[in-house]
Amino acid sequence: MPSSLRLPAPAKLNLMLRIVGRRPDGYHLLQTVFQFLDCCDWITLAARPDGEIRLASPLPGVPEAMDLTVRAARALQAAAGVRQGVTITIEKRLPMGGGLGGGSSDAATTLLGLNRLWGADLAIAELKALGLALGADVPVFIEGAAAWAEGVGERLTPIELPEPWYVVIAPPCHVNTGVVFNAPDLTRDNPSITIADFFAGQQENHCLSVVLANYPVVAQAMDALSRYGRARLTGTGACVFADFPGEAEAQACLRGVSPEWSALLARGLNRSPLQLALERLTT
């Protein structure tokens, strides 16, 4: 058993986002499609014998006890009755509050990595249940496959998607998901669609108008990217993206986008880089 692991925590895109209802507890009922990107945070997990959960370098503005990786480690430690601890090092490369799922992905990588490092041997279903308590996006990162998602995002159906190249712009703002979902002008009773409808082109994001109204810089990023392709919002934002059939077309877009924008080039993936890394550990 290794004493430490360094694992990727990949980004995701929401290729569409529908709001189709609201539960009595206030959570929104969604339909969405998740696909992974080949850009990642990196998480290093170093086992320690004293049972302590420590963060090597807390993220600015995030108290250590509230960090999702720390919460994930503590949840797994309690659920599996583990006596070991861990020092967690996060190499943060994904923007925070951008809709790329960075915090949720970090938590999922922590759960899967510690399940291996500590020899906890919890089943994927148990890890997904722990992850759902941390955030609605965590289960898809644990599952590790591109998916059609319903409920609050936890009911997952794996699907095969094209794997295009994406250009993603990260506007210099942090979109508050609570502000978006509590906006009075957000429509919450949109009709449900099917997977076939999605593939036929129904790929709206019902949060788009609220985000653009409250965050003008996101609207500016949409305009900048729309000159080169179909610009879309991922999740509740702030990141916007456009897809291209090949790397050359995506590179041309990236060169054309003004350098005032923070933009990245990424490949869409139907299998998570985290799952591939964990499989390599067992071969």
Higher pLDDT, 96 or 16: 16
Assigned domain for 277 exists: no
> In terms of domains, do 128 and 222 share one?
no
The confidence score (pLDDT) of residue 64 equals 85
Same domain, 230 and 175: yes
- Looking up residue 265, the CATH number of its domain turns out to be 3.30.70.890
What is the pLDDT, as a whole number, of residue 1?
A: 63
How are beta strands 53-55 and 85-91 bridged, if at all? parallel
Whole domain around residue 259: which residue ranges? Answer: 165-269
- Residues 100 and 49 occupy one common structural domain: yes
Q: Do 139 and 170 fall into the same domain?
A: no
Residue 281 lies in a domain: no
DSSP per-residue codes, 39-59: EEEEEEEEEETT--EEESSPP
Instruction: Judge whether 280 lies within some domain.
Output: no
Radius of gyration of the chain (CA): 19
Q: Do 135 and 22 fall within a single domain?
A: yes
138 and 242 fall within a common domain: no
Residue 282: the pLDDT is 82
> To the nearest whole number, what is the mean pLDDT of the chain?
94
Residue 246 located in a structural domain: yes
Has residue 129 got a pLDDT over 80? yes
Percent of the chain residues past pLDDT 70, beyond the cut: 99
Is residue 107 domain-shared with residue 190, that is, in the same domain?
no
Q: Comparing 198 with 57, which gets the higher pLDDT?
A: 198
Q: Is residue 92 annotated as part of the catalytic site, yes or no?
A: no
Q: What is the CATH number of the domain that holds 58?
A: 3.30.230.10
Per residue in 168-179, is it b (16+ CB within 10 Å) or e — as a string?
bbbbebebeeee
Q: Are residues 123 and 66 in the same domain?
A: yes
Whether the pLDDT of residue 8 is over 70: the answer is: yes
Could you tell me the pLDDT band of residue 18, with boundaries at 50, 70 and 90? Answer: very high
Asked if 222 contacts 212 with a C-beta cutoff of 8 angstroms, the reply is: yes
What pLDDT is attached to residue 45? Answer: 98
Classify residue 283: in a domain, yes or no: no
Q: 140, 159, 178 — which closes off a domain?
A: 159
Q: Does 268 score more than 80 pLDDT?
A: yes
Q: How far apart are CA 256 and CA 40, in angstroms?
A: 24
| Type of residue found at 9 | A
Domain boundary among 159, 183, 199: 159
Query: Which of residues 101, 132, 159 is at a domain's end?
Result: 159
pLDDT at 66 over 90: no
Percentage of the chain lying above the pLDDT 90 cut: 84
pLDDT for 60 beyond 80? no
Q: With respect to residue 176, please indicate whether it lies within any of the assigned structural domains.
A: yes
Listed range (56-60, 91-95, 248-252) with the worst mean pLDDT? 56-60
What DSSP string describes 159-180? ------EEEEE--SS---HHHH
pLDDT of residue 274: 97
Both 149 and 173 in a single domain? no
Catalytic residue from among 67, 106, 137, 243: 137
Contacts of 235 (CB under 8 A, 6+ apart): 14, 17, 32, 99, 100, 101, 177, 207
Q: How confident is the model at residue 158 (pLDDT cuts 50, 70, 90)?
A: very high
Say if residue 219's pLDDT is above 80. Answer: yes
- Count of structural domains, the chain: 2
Is residue 135 included in any domain, yes or no?
yes
Identify whether 276 is part of a domain: no
| 12 is annotated as an active-site residue | yes
| Nearest to 228, CA basis, from 140, 167, 138 | 167
Predicted model pTM? 0.94
In the predicted model, is pLDDT for residue 29 greater than 90?
A: yes
Query: Do 184 and 155 fall within a single domain?
Result: no
Q: Are residues 11 and 51 in the same domain?
A: yes
Catalytic residue among 12, 41, 106, 128: 12
Looking at the structure, tell me whether residues 262 and 170 fall in a common domain.
Answer: yes
